[in-house]
Amino acid sequence: MTRRLGGLALALLLAGCVSRTAPPAAVTVPPPAPAPTPAPAPPADALTLGVRAGPALTPAQVPPDQAARALTAFRISCPSLLRRRDPSGIAADWSIPCARAAAAADPQAFFLSAFETAQVGDGAAMATGYYEPEIAASWTSEPGLAAVYRKPDDLVEQDVAVCPAGTLPTLPATACPTQKQRGRIVDGVFAPYYDRTEIELGALNGRGLEIAWADPIDLFFLQIQGSGRLRFPDGAILRIGYAGQNGHAYTGIGTLMRQRQLLGPGQTSMQGMVAWLRANPEAGTAIMRENRSFVFFRELTGPGPIGAMGLPVTPRASVAADPRYVPLGAPVFIETPDPNATGLWIAQDTGGAIKGANRFDTFWGPGEEAARIAGRLLARGRAWLLLPLGTVARLAAAGGEGAPPQR
């Protein structure tokens, strides 16, 4: 659910997980519409972190019920793992554990025997949680409700030249590096898209983009999660998922609330933040609008929510990770003092705040218990990536510890 802004609890005070593009402070020159290009290579730091062998997992670390959930999620991921385009050759290695997974009768034995652990970088991990919220909604516009929007057709993404500050605007676009940005074309020129305030004040009115209407605070946090369920008075339930984002940088309002000392002791969870926003409606609206990022949704059918792989994520088994360091679809073992975060997870999602080799956001599914766990989860410890047997040694022989596991 590249969707979401990951992590709640204190993580909400720090950042979020919806994919976003921060506008540069430099002069930008719009280039011609680009032709489709392959995904860019990871940044240089992703190539120098290093991978080293980790400890063998024990049966006590991978209990049978947890292994069963992880195996279900791993089987879903295998077709994508086998299609990976990977110059290191690791993609081919997944064929063996994927074949074993298809026939595995004992999930615990499978994970203990089919993989070796690898520490990426220093292995120091931070784990948070996200869930699939369910909020009340209306089929029609009513006073006090905010629109749940589909992705507008004028929201585009293209490579924009980013020239150093002070560069003349007439500098040819080819002379400046480019980065992908979301925006709209105004009189033939690429411009920022409407921000949260502009959208909430009616910038998209009259275009038929409304899926439904909901409480603005509930909708704000549903945007942070990136997907959820809309519950209507007639009993209907509509599942929606991330369809796009307006291109403005995400601002975690929890950080702002903490800096301004608006939250007292014990209020730093999502639940505490919501309580403050409801108790201070005008100030709450203003501070939510300081987050200029806005998320658009699409209607979902079938299993879900849908993660960054385009596949459904599994409660208590799927985790969002940074794909520059963790191959999407790969198992990960996290060990922290918090038993909720500790255990075996399958990397099936990403997020705008989930950056770094050992930053993870665990998925808890729908319901009140999921909201309670995810809303308070913030754990630090260690993490190991599970790779097919023999992979770590081959990486070391090919390039030492300087290559990340997916390159």
> Facing residues of 150 across strands?
297
Cβ–Cβ < 8 Å for 341, 377: yes
Specify the pTM: 0.69
> Which 8-state DSSP code applies to residue 60?
G
64-82 and 95-103 are packed helices; what angle lies between their axes, rounded to 10 degrees?
A: 130
Q: How far apart are CA 157 and CA 151, in angstroms?
A: 12
* pLDDT at position 173: 53
Cα 51 → chain centroid: 23
* pLDDT at position 16: 34
Domains of the chain: 11-252+291-402 (2.40.40.10)
Considering only CA atoms, which of 403, 404, 389, 309 is closest in space to residue 117? 389
Segment-wise mean pLDDT, segments of 10 residues, the chain, 407 residues? 43 32 33 37 45 92 96 94 67 89 97 95 94 93 97 91 59 66 93 97 97 97 89 94 92 91 82 93 97 94 81 94 91 97 95 88 92 91 94 71 41
Q: How far apart are CA 228 and CA 225, in angstroms?
A: 8
**Distances from the Cα of 135 to the Cα of 106, 138, 330, angstroms:** 38, 10, 32
**Distances from the Cα of 119 to the Cα of 106, 152, 382, angstroms:** 26, 42, 9
* pLDDT at position 172: 55
**Distances from the Cα of 326 to the Cα of 6, 198, 329, 382, angstroms:** 16, 37, 9, 14
* pLDDT at position 166: 55
Instruction: Kindly compute the dihedral angle of the four CA atoms of residues 242, 248, 250, 251, in this order, to the nearest 10 degrees.
Output: -140
Q: How far apart are CA 61 and CA 68, in angstroms?
A: 13
Radius of gyration of the chain measured on its C-alpha atoms: 22
**Distances from the Cα of 291 to the Cα of 18, 114, 122, 131, 276, angstroms:** 12, 44, 32, 21, 17
Q: Where are the beta strands (DSSP E) in 72-188?
A: 115-120, 124-132, 134-138, 146-149, 156-163, 178-186
- Class of residue 58 by CB neighbours under 10 A (exposed 0-12, middle 13-18, buried 19+): exposed
**Distances from the Cα of 32 to the Cα of 38, 169, 190, angstroms:** 17, 15, 10
SS3 assignment, position 383:
strand
Cβ–Cβ < 8 Å for 158, 193: no
Considering only CA atoms, which of 181, 204, 258 is closest in space to residue 14? 258
* pLDDT at position 27: 33
**Distances from the Cα of 159 to the Cα of 175, 178, 353, angstroms:** 13, 6, 22
Tokens, residue 406: 């997916």
**Distances from the Cα of 45 to the Cα of 42, 49, 356, 403, angstroms:** 8, 6, 10, 10
CB-CB neighbours of 260 under 10 Å: 10
Q: Residues of 162-177 as b/e, b for ≥16 C-beta within 10 angstroms?
A: bbeeebeeeeebeebe
